[in-house]
Structure formats: structure tokens, C-alpha cells
Amino acid sequence: MEYIYFFETEEPLILKFDLVPLDELLLHEEVIEDHLKKLSCAIKESGVISDPVIIDDYSKVVLDGTHRVCVLKEMHLEFAPVVRVNYAHNAIQLKRWFRILDGSEKDIISVLNNLNYEQVDLPSINSDLLDREIVIAKKNSAFIIEAGKNVFEKYSALREFEKLLRKKCVRIDYVTENEALESLSQGKIIIMTPRIEKQDVINFAKKNLVFPPKSTRHVFKLRPVFLNFPLSLLKELKAAPEARKEVLREFLLERIPLEIEGYLTIDRFYEEDYLLLFV
């Protein structure tokens, strides 16, 4: 079943609802163990998968829903409710998570001194460099970390840097770029992360190389939410594709898709233009 969203100047965004074997899905990012445990309890208690997993239609790389996929695998289920999209569409944006560091500046600098870096004046850094490197920024100073030849190696180095920070009891908050830059102006120390391209996500996932948690942030112009697909139906699914399509068709016929404006907080803050809910 498809939901087509029409734009004034672009090709339509097509959301293809499907039930896909879990072993066909490719992950591009690691899970956060605490979040995985909480989500697992919530799914088992509610008996539903609230939001569908969003995947690239061509590569079957998971763009949103890594934790949901892992919970379903832990439950020994074989299929996941998904929405397949054209990842190349301009309505799907790939953004970054920056970090705000909350801890002793002395401790942060001591960890930094274990790495190779170049210290520069923050205003002197050009935007291209900010897109390519790990940058620790404070006030008007910046430390450019020398790590890795490609974006995956850089994020792997960032993972190790964060582990060392936590050992020093430095708290790391994952925030949007704008939130981090606002905190920087208020005197906080932040980590500005390298930009990841969509093709990086696909290429490394195909090699079974997963980025650390909170590396990518996908924003969809229209995000499907609150599908509430029952675990009981997933447990009863047959292998035959046509049988799965019929189960999904019957389920969706009982739901009414409702498009509402985004930029609102429900269970969390949604920065999408629109949400597609099912009631």
C-alpha cells in the first residue's frame, strides 16, 4: 500500500508500506543499550510497534528504527512493519547530532591532550573544514581532531573520545546543530561532528560497518507515526509475500491516515513539516 505526498515543485514522495523480513534489513548505526532496554519493555507491554521502521527502498538500509529492529530480533520475530522510501528524494534530509559537554574543562582538555589536534581560533575555521572534521569548540577557540581518512574512521575515533570523557565523568548531551551553537554562545564546550552523506550511510551499511549511536539524524518532510502494528500479527505472518501483503492491506483498511502539521511535541519533539498519523 502506498501513500503519495505531492509537492508544489518536486516529484511526489511515495511512502510504501510493507512487511519485510528482518534478515534483509541493513543497519548503519549502533544502538544505545539503555534506550534498547526501555524500548523493549515498552513494546512488550503495549503489544505493538508504534512507528514503522523507515528504510531505503533500494538498499533496505534502515534510516530510522534501528532500536525497533533490534527489539524484534531479540523477540525472535521474522518481520518488521516498514515504510520504504526513495532515500535520494530531497524531502529526506540527513543531518547531524552535535554534542554538549557538561563537566570540568580541565578534565575535557586532559582527555583531548591524549589525541592529535590542532588548536585554532574558532572564527578562522571555514565551513568546509567544519563539515569534514571533529571540532571541539569553546568560546573563541577550537581544537581540530586529527583522526581517520574517511568519515567512518572519524566517527570511530569520536566514539573512543567519548568513552574517555565518560571515564572522567563528563556528561555528553546529543543535540541539534542549532542547540549546540546556542550553548556555545553561552560558554559551553561542544563537539561539532563531521557531515555524513547519504551515500556514506548506504556504502558502509553494505559493508556491515555501523556508525556509533547518534551519528545521523534523518528528518522527513512527512514522517509516518503511530501505526501501532500489533505484535500478534507479526507472530502469525507467513513467509509468502502475497500473504503478508494481504495481512497488511486488511490492517491498513481499518485505519484512517491523518496528516497534521509537524514541529510539535507528542511523545518527543518532531522537527518534520508534517506527520502522518493513523487513527
Parent domain of 122:
98-192
CATH number (domain holding residue 62): 3.90.1530.10
Same domain, 264 and 132: no
- The predicted pLDDT at position 9 comes to 66
Same domain, 215 and 82: yes
For CA atoms 259, 261, 266, 272, the dihedral sign is positive
3-class SS at 129?
helix
Q: How far apart are CA 40 and CA 45, in angstroms?
A: 9
Q: How far apart are CA 142 and CA 7, in angstroms?
A: 41
Same domain, 54 and 105: no
Q: CB of 96 within 8 A of CB of 201? A: no
Same domain, 131 and 156: yes
3-class SS at 66?
helix
Q: How far apart are CA 197 and CA 204, in angstroms?
A: 11
Same domain, 15 and 77: yes
Question: Residue ranges of the alpha helices (H) in 82-206?
Answer: 105-112, 127-132, 151-167, 177-185, 198-206
What is the domain count for the chain?
Answer: 2
3-class SS at 203?
helix
β-sheet bridge partners, residue 264: 270
Which of the residues in the chain have pLDDT under 50? none
Final residue before a domain boundary, out of 134, 167, 192: 192
Same domain, 87 and 212: yes
- The predicted pLDDT at position 144 comes to 93
Same domain, 75 and 105: no
Dump pLDDT digits (tens) for 89-115. Answer: 999 999 999 999 999 999 999 999 888
Same domain, 174 and 233: no
Angle at CA 181, nearest 5°, toward 54 and 28?
25
CA contacts within 13 A on the Cβ side of 221: 17
Same domain, 173 and 229: no
Which of 208, 113, 210 minimizes the C-alpha distance to 168?
113
**Count of CB atoms situated within 10 Å of the CB of 260:** 12
Same domain, 31 and 66: yes
Q: CB of 14 within 8 A of CB of 85? A: yes
CA contacts within 13 A on the Cβ side of 129: 15
Which of 17, 22, 18 minimizes the C-alpha distance to 78?
22
Final residue before a domain boundary, out of 136, 159, 192: 192
What global pTM score does this model have? 0.94
Same domain, 89 and 205: yes
Which of 39, 92, 96 minimizes the C-alpha distance to 61?
92
The single residue listed with the C-alpha cell 560497518 is 209
Written as nine digits, the cell of 66 is 534501528
Dump pLDDT digits (tens) for 131-157. Answer: 899 999 998 889 999 888 899 999 999
Same domain, 88 and 8: yes
Final residue before a domain boundary, out of 143, 162, 192: 192
